[in-house]
Structure 1
Amino acid sequence: MKLQDVKSAGDVEIFDGEYGKISSAGDMAIRGKIRTETLKSMGDLHAAEDVIAGKIQIYGDADFKGTLTAEETQIYGDARFHKGVKIQDLKVFGNLRAQIIDADTFQVHGELEEAEALNAEKALFNGEFHVKQSMNLGKGEMNLAGKSTVKEIFCESLRVSSRESGYQGIFAGLVSRGKGGTLTVELIEGDELDLENTHCDTVRGRNIRIGKGSKIRRVEYQESLKIFEDGEVLEKEEF
């Protein structure tokens, strides 16, 4: 059975059901639980219930009251997820607030204002983030601006830097609150760790580089530890 398509030149309301393609040139209000192949809004989007979708594009602010499950989501504005998020590929160009985020690939160019936890195979931050509990990452890259915080990071590899060259084009405007930034965290554990501007109680890993602006109380390493520029390590142990 062919699914219904919805296309609007202005604002639109979407109710319970299964759809093919949904698009609007204005704001979109989703009043019930929906499943759709694609969803595109050129204005703000407000979803009152659960949304299951293939590809989502929102060129405005987004507010999801229910859970969001999608293959690919791009939001060019501020986003708020009140419940769980399960997405293969999530990109937010603005500010994001969420609970628990599960993604294969996760990117924020701006600020992750608040989240309980983040689980991702690949994560890229250009800006600032605040995660109350843990990050479980495969590969993580953080180009810092502002004062980022997280309780614990578990990963395969992680690179933390604070370089102006990391912000280009529209990203520069999203993270223009000041030059550089810092990361404050209690524990980082991974295989390959390259840390700048990081303040941490314990860093544990196989190959570790501690660089400029970093202050680490204790480092436990398996194969190599390199401390360069003005990086500080109070205690170190090979295991």
Structure 2
Amino acid sequence: MSAARKFEEYERSLKRGPARVSISGSGVYDGETLRVSGSARVEGDLVVSEVRASGSLTCVGSVRAAVFRVSGSAKVTGDLRGELVRASGSLSVGGSLSAEESLKISGSASIAGLIEGGEVRVSGALEASSIKCGTLVASGSLRVGGDVECRSFELTAEGRSVIRGSLRAEEVVVRGGEARTVVRIGPLEISVSRRRRGFLKVGRVEGANVDLEYVECEEVRARRVRIGKGCRVMGNVYYAEEAEVDPAAVVRGQLVRVEPSNGGEQRGGGDRG
């Protein structure tokens, strides 16, 4: 967040006045920190250096804290912004979530707006409007209504994961489960492999090196590509250097070799299904 934006948020918090905090159980709120063991309700925007809550926390407004750690159930009706954000249990955010350094979720989290930050790690289930971060490592399920943009993306899927927009990353690794992923990016590494007989449903796959197993997709574009066992490609496979298709795979379209420089087609193979 820019210095100007931080100052604007600070000015707005001064105009609104201090947040009203009610604590049931043990805890302390001194204007700088909020620590709760039990349940707490915050009305108004909360601007503190640290939030630590064990039990139940409800914030009717936005929260700005350098450190935000919750264990149990937490609900923020507005935006949640911090440097370190840790949530174990259930987290609900009615606005956007920004974790400048890192975000770690263990359990379930539902974010109505954008997730942005440095490192994002998820063990469980995550829902968000869109995600923009440095690294995303998830084990469980993802449901994203828009785009996912990061340098590195790794998903070990359990159940069904859906990314309705585009997935843009330098490196992409997806294992197991079911997912709907559309990849629109230049050079990247994509590796999708079978795990517990899972199946991955993909819209469009693009990358430098693409290695797929047990994947169903509409189209593949890559410099080098391997269509492994259990795959079904409904359209064409475009490649620049190498293409390998397992005898157990189905390619409904053609293998089309293209020139990397101008994208012109060189030759097309027949239906491989």
TM-score, normalization: structure 2?
0.71
* AA matched with 2:130: A
Which residue does 1:206 correspond to in 2?
A: 208
> 4+ residue runs of structure 1 moved beyond 6 angstroms?
none
Contact between 1:219 and 1:237, CA under 8 Å: does it hold in 2?
Answer: yes
Which residue does 1:219 correspond to in 2?
A: 220
Deviation at 1:97, TM superposition (A): 0.9
* CA displacement, residues 162-207 of structure 1 (integer Å, 9 cap, x when unaligned): 2xxxxxxxxxxxxxxxxxx211124453511112332123111111
Aligned partners of 1:49, 1:13: CA distance in 2, in Å?
19
2:161 is the counterpart of 1:148: yes
Partner of residue 94 from structure 2, selected from 73, 82, 89: 82
Aligned partners of 1:11, 1:52: CA distance in 2, in Å?
22
Aligned partners of 1:31, 1:186: CA distance in 2, in Å?
40
Which residue does 2:56 correspond to in 1?
A: 44
Larger radius of gyration: 2
Deviation at 1:228, TM superposition (A): 2.5
Which residue does 2:232 correspond to in 1?
A: 232
* CA displacement, residues 64-103 of structure 1 (integer Å, 9 cap, x when unaligned): 1111110111111111110111112111111111121112
Q: RMSD across aligned C-alpha pairs, in angstroms?
A: 2.2
Which residue does 2:108 correspond to in 1?
A: 95
Show structure 1 runs of 5+ residues with no match.
1-5, 163-180
Deviation at 1:42, TM superposition (A): 1.1
Deviation at 1:13, TM superposition (A): 8.3
2:100 is the counterpart of 1:107: no
User: Are residues 188 and 145 of structure 1, via their aligned partners in 2, closer, same or farther at CA, if it must alter by over 3 Å?
Assistant: farther
Aligned partners of 1:11, 1:48: CA distance in 2, in Å?
20
2:43 is the counterpart of 1:31: yes
Deviation at 1:12, TM superposition (A): 5.4
Identity %: 19
Aligned partners of 2:180, 2:62: CA distance in 1, in Å?
34
* AA matched with 2:43: R
* CA displacement, residues 97-134 of structure 1 (integer Å, 9 cap, x when unaligned): 1121112111221111x321111111111111111111
Deviation at 1:32, TM superposition (A): 2.1
* AA matched with 2:151: G
TM-score, normalization: structure 1?
0.80
> What is the aligned residue count?
209
